[in-house]
Amino acid sequence: KQEVTQIPAALSVPEGENLVLNCSFTDSAIYNLQWFRQDPGKGLTSLLLIQSSQREQTSGRLNASLDKSSGRSTLYIAASQPGDSATYLCAVDAGKSTFGDGTTLTVKP
């Protein structure tokens, strides 16, 4: 059974700092890995999707990497802003999606 772990569970940083969120998974037989953002009381917003054949994807200040052989993905956020405060979830898709519990990020002004 696929297991997805996100460390740390919570992270607090000052505005402007670069940061990395981690996602690990146990079964490397995946189609893709997707990073989401969830604001309190809201649904999930897709940030980036990395196909299994890809190593990374970039969107603005976000860069996601995938190392399928080691079962790891990272989400890099450059020059963090208070508006980046949210919970970030990763999900691995092997036909059905398995989600991590998320990392709650707080960016302090």
Which residue among 64, 68, 102, 105 contacts other proteins (CB under 8 A)? 102
The mark string for 36-55 relative to other proteins (x by CB under 8 A, - otherwise) is: x----xxxxxx--x-x----
Compute how many residues bind other proteins; rule: CB under 8 A.
22
Which residue among 22, 28, 32, 85 contacts other proteins (CB under 8 A)? 32
Question: Residue 8: exposed, middle, or buried by beta-carbon count in 10 A (0-12, 13-18, 19+)?
Answer: exposed
Integer Cα distance of 4 and 27 in angstroms:
9
**Sign of the dihedral defined by the CA atoms of residues 95, 77, 65, 27, in that order:** negative
For residue 37, count other CB atoms closer than 10 A to its CB. 19
Using CB under 8 A as the binding rule, whether residue 22 contacts other proteins is answered as no
Query: Residue 17's Cα: distance from chain center in Å?
Result: 17
Place of tokens 């450059």: 78
In the range 65-94, which residues lie near other proteins by CB under 8 A? 89, 91, 93
- Select 76 or 99, whichever has its Cβ closest to other proteins: 99
18: amino acid identity, one letter: N
Residue ranges in contact with other proteins by CB under 8 A = 4, 31-32, 34, 36, 41-46, 49, 51, 89, 91, 93, 96-97, 99-102
